[in-house]
Amino acid sequence: MDAPQTSARAGTPGPVPGPGTPGPWREGVVDLGGHRGARGLVVENTVPSFLRAVALGAGTLELDVQLTADGALVVWHDPVVGADRAVDIGPAVPSDPAFPYAGTAVVDLAFGQLACLDVGRRTLPRFPGQQARPGTRVPLLAEVLHAVREVDPDVWFLVEVKCDPTRPELSSAPADLVAAVAEVVEAAGAGDRVLLESFDWRVLEHARRTAPHLPLVALADDRTFSPGSPWTGTVRFEDHDGDLVSAALALGAVAVAPAYAAPSGATSADPGFRLVTDGAFVERAHAAGLAVVPWTVNAEEDLALVIAAGVDCLITDYPDRAARLLR
């Protein structure tokens, strides 16, 4: 066996996507993807978290974007800015009737109001090693692109567009979101390092029509890719016999990003665990020209499983753990 490369892949079951497939994938190498930066180590979706992931060897950063009420494209995951993650510092203007802002939907706040929240002060109990960064604000996507590319211009960005077809009042329209992402990415000169993903495939279908230069990643789990799902746009689960690879091809994606386990959220330590992105799945996807990007893999045993299956990029809250296994 050849000496392992940095991020070496063990037991590749088939060819990786061809050289014309946009993305960080390279034959014989598993790319390390930092989930919301390095969420297990530093408060999520913040510039400090993204820079920590890059310092640990992440070649891809997965992040979430939404539009504020005044059209700013910000990096934030949840539709509502929860008090478990954000602390009100003060109103944007005196006697602002919307204050306090914690507990309000992002889409209902102007960026100036969102900027009055400290999102670096509170850590999450489920990540006992997560470090606070007091004084950190919700960043614009443009800020993240600039900060990371100053450190490493070769990093890829897996930009997840947050849109919920079941709760339209909590998100912007797909067309508005795609237009905003395309504009920010172009202004940053980062078009050659951005992949677009969403659970809401209406977003991806719109991007294919209006921003065809942005490569698409079909994001899915057993909740969104299911019979009768409202999440898959015009690509119906039933028309593809439940085959995610076939559906991703119909969508025009260059990669498929399933939850690595079923049921979604399970780990290999749980009863009933099934590895979705096993060697057979990876082989079928590669034969179809698709890269495979499983998420969110945190336990070392599970990281080892997806690496051995030959995935192209793994998304993890703990880039440090993955880096140790990929050396």
- Condensed to tens digits (0 to 9), the pLDDT of residues 163-219 reads 999 999 999 999 999 999 999 999 999 999 999 999 999 999 999 999 999 999 999
Helices 141-151 and 174-188 meet at what angle, rounded to 10?
30
Joined together, the tokens standing for residue 16 give 């990786």
pLDDT tens figures, 221-270 = 999 999 999 999 999 999 999 999 999 999 999 999 999 999 999 999 99
Joined together, the tokens standing for residue 132 give 């606070």
pLDDT tens figures, 46-69 = 999 999 999 999 999 999 999 999
pLDDT tens figures, 105-162 = 999 999 999 999 999 999 999 999 999 999 999 999 999 999 999 999 999 999 999 9
- The pLDDT, as a whole number, for residue 5 is 32
Neighbouring C-alpha atoms within 13 Å toward the C-beta of 111:
12
- The pLDDT, as a whole number, for residue 133 is 99
pLDDT band per the 50, 70, 90 thresholds, residue 28: confident
Of 22-36, 72-86, 88-102, the poorest mean pLDDT is in: 22-36
- The pLDDT, as a whole number, for residue 18 is 52
Query: What mean pLDDT comes out for the span 272-281?
Result: 98
* pTM as predicted: 0.94
- The pLDDT, as a whole number, for residue 11 is 36
Neighbouring C-alpha atoms within 13 Å toward the C-beta of 277:
35
Q: Is a pLDDT exceeding 50 seen at residue 220? A: yes
- In 3-state terms, what secondary structure has residue 151? helix
CB neighbour class for 119 (10 Å; exposed up to 12, middle 13-18, buried from 19): buried
Report the greatest alpha carbon distance in the chain: 68
- The pLDDT, as a whole number, for residue 3 is 29
Please say whether the structural domain 31-80+136-326 has been given the CATH code 3.20.20.190: yes
Listed in sequence order, the DSSP H helices in 221-296 are 244-251, 279-287
pLDDT band per the 50, 70, 90 thresholds, residue 19: very low
Query: What mean pLDDT comes out for the span 1-28?
Result: 54
Distant-in-sequence, close-in-space partners of 270: CB < 8 Å, separation ≥ 6: none
pLDDT band per the 50, 70, 90 thresholds, residue 20: low
Whole-angstrom distance, CA of residue 244 vs CA of residue 44? 29
- The pLDDT, as a whole number, for residue 22 is 85
